[in-house]
Amino acid sequence: MTQPPATKVLVIGYVWPEPRSSAASGHVMQILDTFLQQGWDITFSSPAGTGEHRADLTSLGIREVPIELNNSSFDTFVSELAPDIVLFDQFMMEEQFGWRVEKHCPDALRVLETSDLQSLRHARYQRLKERLKASDDANDFSELFAPALREEFEFMADTDLAKREIAALYRCDLNLMISEVEIELLVEQFKLPRNLLHWCPLMVDAPSAPSPAFEDRAHFLSIGNFRHAPNWDAVLWMKTMIWPLIRAQLPEAQLHIYGAYTPPKATALHNAAQGFHVMNWAEDALQVMSAARVCLAPLRFGAGIKGKIVDAMLCGTPNVTTPIGAEAMHREQPWPGAVTQTAREFADCAVRLYKDKDLWMSAQSHGQILLAERYQPSIHGPALIEKLLYCQQHLAQLRRDNFTGSMLRHHHHKSTQYMAQWIEAKNRH
């Protein structure tokens, strides 16, 4: 009896994955690994240039095919590949290539990996900037941290970014959401059908080996890709407000800040005399995280869930963060460290965790429980495959039920097609 052909998956990436540089790329790699475990045939394409920390996909058995924006060569490529599933990595890729996929592979399941809700992150950034202009108080940002979903909707609803992003969600057959808070926002406020959204958080196995003990660790650590605006803002808040408060209580304290693509403006903050060390990129993020005693993540805005905090739990490193950092990560479970609203509270909690071994060990155990209960690949991987197969089997009905999506595809794809063809013709002359 002949085996049925393997499911063909085309992933169209906003960038080539760099899992050691960003949580978004790490999540893409976790999804790819889930597909590989099914024996699926995977092709990864991107119009982006190659970054210096990119993953070697070919070594995993994944084909790499560069593609171009506004170029009909993609039409030939996708027609010949004839994928069963097309996964768009970030909504901009659906905007660019969605109409071509629909035209040449109409029966392919179209899936969007959102990474985080970018329009939510952008709206929160605008609110932070307004708050910084209105007040020079760098201590208390609590009014930014826990608005009701209705307030979030009202900040987002008039923005171009929200209209673009949520239209892309409607146009796809399924959207992978990393945050349950974002699912509730989309369903309750933007009125998206819940069956268009699938919760797929970061998927990591709890470590089997014990992590270094309290006594064998030293220093505070902060980590994050500097190209990601929330990370740069967190560094600025630490430098100007939080770190001086920590040093006042722990005069010998040292903070090591790691991040890919460190810009000169970040390097300029390095000050060894203040114990404020900007360390550039970490070759092994888990190794430096395991050596630190406490992870600091003072995020004043952002969306999704935080890879740096999952890494801290993996390494048994308690963390101090804000409600933005903790959002959608723990539900009712105790937090593996502290969630704080002001710079003063942040510094006090960081110092307490650093000095109190019992408190530190309790926080570490909370992280291990949280990993096991919310981030297991053995739970989320099969759930993702089951959902994809269900959508494939019921595709015609799902599309019929999603009339808003088909209407948006009809109008958007026509206009995008004509614009792309005009750009391509212009580029030939």
Query: Which has the closest alpha carbon to 312: 331, 338, 275?
Result: 338
Residue type, position 214, single letter: F
What is Dmax (Cα atoms) for the chain?
Answer: 73
- Going by C-alpha positions, the residue among 219, 366, 363 that lies closest to residue 289 is 219
**Residue indicated by tokens 């996708």:** 78
Distance between CA atoms of 15 and 17, rounded to whole angstroms? 6
CA dist., res. 361 & res. 394, Å (int): 49
Q: In degrees, to the nearest 5, what angle opens at C-alpha 132 toward C-alphas 130 and 137?
A: 140
Q: How confident is the model at residue 208, as a pLDDT?
A: 82
Spatial distance between the Cα atoms of 9 and 97, rounded to a whole number of angstroms:
15
**CB 307, CB 324: distance < 8 Å:** no
Neighbours of 76 (CB within 10 A): 11
Domain at 8-119+150-203+377-428, CATH from 3.40.50.2000, 3.40.50.12280, 3.50.50.100, 3.40.50.720: 3.40.50.2000
- What are the 10-residue block averages of pLDDT along the chain, 429 residues in total? 82 95 93 98 96 92 97 97 98 96 97 96 97 94 90 96 97 98 98 98 91 98 94 97 98 96 94 96 93 98 96 98 97 96 98 98 97 96 98 97 94 68 70
d(CA 101, CA 78): 7
Q: What's the distance, Cα to Cα, between the start and end of the chain in Å?
A: 54
Alpha-carbon distance 314 to 290, whole Å? 9
- Two structure tokens written together for 119: 């329009």
**Lookup result for tokens 């699938």:** 198
Q: At what angle do helices 91-104 and 403-428 cross, to 10 degrees?
A: 90
pTM: 0.94
Output phi, psi for 223, to 5 deg: -145, 145
Residues 101 and 78 sit within 8 Å (Cβ to Cβ): yes
Tell me the C-alpha distance between 144 and 368, whole Å.
Answer: 29
CA distance linking residue 126 with residue 155, whole number of Å: 9
pLDDT at 422: 66
Q: Classify domain 214-374 at the CATH topology level.
A: Rossmann fold (3.40.50)
Report the DSSP pairing between strands 319-321 and 337-339: parallel
Give span(s): CATH 3.40.50.2000, the chain.
Answer: 8-119+150-203+377-428, 214-374
Q: 290 CB contacts (<8 Å, ≥6 apart)?
A: 211, 212, 217, 315, 316, 317
Strand partners, 218: none
Q: Any alpha helices (H) in 157-222, and if so which ranges?
A: 160-171, 180-188
Cα angle vertex 237, ends 217, 365, to 5°?
A: 35
